Amino acid sequence: MKQDTLPGHSESSVVSSLARFAGCETETIRLVADAQQVVTEFDESNNEQQRQITPPCPDFSVSIGKNWEDNNTRYRAHVTIKNVGNAPSPAGMIVKVIGGPEGLASTVDPQGLPLNSNMNIRALAPGESQSFNAGSKQLGTSTLYVKVFVDFYKVVPESNENNNVVDKKL
């Protein structure tokens, strides 16, 4: 906080130069000058302004595909995480990838599945992505169900928390 004196007056006012936001939700900021109407003015009705501000936040999206190998006879699950938000993300976010037989989408406990890994991803600038292969190679004729969770422990506030989990049949 900074203490300022109005020009020509001995009264002082407190002015905050920093607004802090708890998350990514739109907040309303209200500023009032001369709230006690100490200063005589021509127009007392213009001492208040109100604005809605949405803070910049990261937002992670997930895509899953096949990365063909061994002359297109085997594939691995290929995962891409993209920051579609308008602020950089922190480094070290946890991405959890599970995969296995049909019915994976309803599987809560991934223990024993052929694909069950955690990965930390680097910091991502807005629009930047990181891709990686997950799990071992699958025979090209076999089906693999893959589910990816970004920011598994919900550490980073995002502008859209509903696009962090994707499951796909490969």
**Same structural domain for residues 37 and 70?**
no
**Same structural domain for residues 35 and 111?**
no
- What is the pLDDT at residue 2? 46
Here the CATH number for the domain that contains residue 93 is: 2.60.40.10
**Same structural domain for residues 67 and 137?**
yes
E strand or H helix that includes residue 162? none
**Same structural domain for residues 158 and 120?**
yes
The predicted-structure confidence for 28-67, as pLDDT tens digits, reads as follows 877 787 778 888 888 877 888 888 877 888 999 999 999 9
For the chain, how many structural domains are there in total?
Answer: 2
Cα(54)–Cα(21) distance, integer angstroms? 9
**Same structural domain for residues 64 and 49?**
no
**Same structural domain for residues 29 and 90?**
no
Cα(19)–Cα(24) distance, integer angstroms? 13
**Same structural domain for residues 101 and 44?**
no
- What is the pLDDT at residue 128? 97
The predicted-structure confidence for 97-126, as pLDDT tens digits, reads as follows 888 766 555 554 455 556 777 888 999 999
Mean pLDDT of 130-157: 86
Rounded to the nearest angstrom, the gap between the alpha carbon of residue 98 and the centroid of all alpha carbons in its chain is 21
- What is the pLDDT at residue 1? 41
More confident residue, 49 or 127: 127
Q: Which domain holds residue 33?
A: 2-53
Whether this prediction's pTM lies above 0.75 is answered by no
